[in-house]
Chain A
Amino acid sequence: MLHLKSKGKELNITEYTVIIPSICVGNAAQLACDLLIASKQLKKIGSLTHPALIPVYGPSAYQHEPNEKVTSCELYESVEDKLLVVQFRAPWISRHTRDFQSQLVALLKGARRVVILSGSFGFERRIIEESPWAYRASDNFKAAHAEQLGNPEVIKWKEHTGDIIYGGGNGLQLFQAFNEEGVQVMLLFRYLLEGDNSTDASLIVRELNELCEDFLQLRSGGDGSFKLTVPKSWNLLFGNDVTELMF
């Protein structure tokens, strides 16, 4: 169920790029979306509820919107950049996932293009010299971005052709569902391992921006770099300090 703050009933995202994280190994894709939302100070426009989503409620995750509340699935927008970022804050319930996924695709299929971010277990990369990145893109996405994807100076990703991305959550299923609807869609994932995945998250954002600045609209300050903002919800990512009573 879509809840828009504007009380509207549908999203108008005709010219928009939509970024969706899949709930993957190390939650790297969600962390990447966190960085994107905090760095670009995206505005929360609504949320989604569904039995597939474990309800979550809490104080704002970002410094730039201190009065907002976190929920399990949030929609963030930049009108200026025509960018919509979906953020998930809880794992899904598998027996409701198919229905939720079809509703999500129906809601977002009007977008100009969809980019799904994901990760896969590092040990699934069988050839160590190969790029730690892989992607999957629909034919219409490849055609529309032939210049960028065909430039080996910029893109060193391997095209994924398998049936499963281990550790990638439902990313591939979501990709296929958008592809069947004829939406321009790309799935980009990084091989990584569980641990402190904040670096992987920033690498995902930077890699996507390198492919096409037009996706994220993260503009460099002239020297090719841009500043990412760490959200306040990343505090104590690995729990509390060890209590003094232990010693």
Chain B
Amino acid sequence: MSCPGFGELNIPSSRAFWDDCEEDEFENVEPAEKLQLKFDDSEAVNPIASEHMIIIESPHIAHFASSALLQDMKRICKIPAKDSALYWQPSKLQLLAILEDDLTKSGEVTELLIPYARLAKKVTTLTLKPKVDYKSEEINKYVDEIGIVRSVGPNLANVQELEAPNFIAGVAAGIASWRDQEQTPINAYVIYTDKLPLDGTAAQPVLKLLQKIGLSCNSSYVPARKDSSYLYM
């Protein structure tokens, strides 16, 4: 009986690069083309001064955003990270960035959104992560929680602060970090949720937090119907 792979050296890939690159390929990597926001209206290219800029970042966020969050919102531009976009609500002077999780482009997208964050009076970020990413010495306390809500640093919503070694990563983290370095107000939240993409139950803590921070949104969410299920039927 043979043993497949026996004696073969399985060389792990480099830890240095997030994207697919190895040490011996690094010299041949082409420099990146600069990303740009794609504006719907060519006259609206200047950054908007808002009362409140809200950034929501998560994997598979598009349907949740379009069905529960975007009432009376006008899309300003597409953000070059999967299906991400920036929306504007003139009546409340609110900017809402809906960001699909795309870490490869997150540093560059952060730079594209900094002009908006610079002009905003108040900035709030919300990152959604799977619950399995949450680290705690008392993890058994959270077994039955649908969502674990935390904030990075003090916040206005009386949410418990995130503890090391947990952290957030991505555009929301970039903007929060930039505002913090500029010593301007920032509220950064993270929800570790039981289910991504969100379903009706997992969306509840998210909607509650968004209402608390002043975003007009529905009180419930009905996920898109799928033709296939996870069950073998």
Question: At the interface, yes or no: A96 with Cβ under 8 Å from chain B?
Answer: yes
Q: A50-B107, A55-B171, A56-B173 are in contact. Are A95 and B164 (CB under 8 A)?
A: no
Closest to B110 in A: A55
Cβ of B139 and Cβ of A169 under 8 Å apart?
A: no
List residues of chain B with CB within 8 A of the CB of A71.
177, 181
Binding site for B on A (CB under 8 A): 3, 5, 22-27, 46-47, 49-61, 69-72, 89-99, 121, 123, 164-170, 172-173, 194, 232-237, 239-241, 243-245
Cβ of A169 and Cβ of B11 under 8 Å apart?
A: no
**Binary per-residue interface labels of chain B (136-173) against chain A in the complex, 1 for a CB within 8 Å, 0 otherwise:** 11011001000000001100000001111111111111
Q: Which residue from A57, A94, A173, A244 sits with its C-beta under 8 Å from B167?
A: A57
The total of interchain contacts (Cβ-Cβ below 8 angstroms) comes to 181
Cβ of A93 and Cβ of B168 under 8 Å apart?
A: no
Cβ of B18 and Cβ of A121 under 8 Å apart?
A: no
Question: At the interface, yes or no: B219 with Cβ under 8 Å from chain A?
Answer: no
Interface size on B, residues (CB 8 A): 57
Cβ of A96 and Cβ of B107 under 8 Å apart?
A: yes
Which of B15, B24, B152, B188 has most A Cβ within 10 Å?
B15
In the assembled complex, the CB of B120 is this many whole angstroms from the nearest CB of chain A, namely 17
Knowing that A55-B106, A61-B165, A69-B153 are A-B contacts, what are 10 other residue pairs whose CB atoms are under 8 Å apart, sorted by A's residue number? A49-B174, A55-B170, A55-B173, A59-B166, A60-B164, A94-B18, A94-B21, A236-B136, A236-B165, A240-B136
Q: In the assembly, what is the distance between CA of A234 and CA of B135, in Å?
A: 11
Which of A52, A55, A167, A241 has most B Cβ within 10 Å?
A55
Q: Which residue from A51, A235, A241 sits with its C-beta under 8 Å from B164?
A: A235
List residues of chain B with CB within 8 A of the CB of A25.
12, 15
Question: At the interface, yes or no: B178 with Cβ under 8 Å from chain A?
Answer: yes
List residues of chain B with CB within 8 A of the CB of A69.
152-153, 177, 180
List residues of chain B with CB within 8 A of the CB of A241.
137, 139-140
List residues of chain B with CB within 8 A of the CB of A243.
139-140, 143
List residues of chain A with CB within 8 A of the CB of B143.
243-245
The 5 closest A-B pairs by CB, nearest first: A58-B167, A55-B174, A169-B16, A94-B21, A57-B173
Closest to B136 in A: A240
Cβ of A99 and Cβ of B31 under 8 Å apart?
A: yes
Question: At the interface, yes or no: B211 with Cβ under 8 Å from chain A?
Answer: no
Q: Which residue from A53, A57, A165 sits with its C-beta under 8 Å from B107?
A: A53
Closest to A50 in B: B107
Q: Which residue from A27, A55, A194 sits with its C-beta under 8 Å from B177?
A: A55
Cβ of B166 and Cβ of A58 under 8 Å apart?
A: yes
Question: At the interface, yes or no: B66 with Cβ under 8 Å from chain A?
Answer: no
In the assembled complex, the CB of A162 is this many whole angstroms from the nearest CB of chain B, namely 11
Cβ of B169 and Cβ of A166 under 8 Å apart?
A: no
Cβ of B32 and Cβ of A167 under 8 Å apart?
A: no
**Binary per-residue interface labels of chain B (103-142) against chain A in the complex, 1 for a CB within 8 Å, 0 otherwise:** 1101110110000000000000000000000111101100
Cβ of A57 and Cβ of B165 under 8 Å apart?
A: no
In the assembled complex, the CB of B133 is this many whole angstroms from the nearest CB of chain A, namely 10
Cβ of B23 and Cβ of A22 under 8 Å apart?
A: no
Cβ of B15 and Cβ of A91 under 8 Å apart?
A: yes
Cβ of B16 and Cβ of A22 under 8 Å apart?
A: yes
List residues of chain B with CB within 8 A of the CB of A49.
107, 110-111, 174, 177-178
Cβ of A58 and Cβ of B162 under 8 Å apart?
A: yes
Cβ of B181 and Cβ of A47 under 8 Å apart?
A: yes
List residues of chain B with CB within 8 A of the CB of A51.
32, 107-108, 111
Question: At the interface, yes or no: B230 with Cβ under 8 Å from chain A?
Answer: no
Q: Which residue from A23, A55, A164 sits with its C-beta under 8 Å from B16?
A: A23
Q: In the assembly, what is the distance between CA of A240 and CA of B32, in Å?
A: 37
Cβ of A166 and Cβ of B152 under 8 Å apart?
A: no
Q: In the assembly, what is the distance between CA of A94 and CA of B15, in Å?
A: 11
B159-202 contacts to A (CB < 8 Å): 161-178, 180-182, 188
Question: At the interface, yes or no: B14 with Cβ under 8 Å from chain A?
Answer: yes
Q: A51-B111, A92-B16, A170-B26 are in contact. Are A56 and B167 (CB under 8 A)?
A: yes
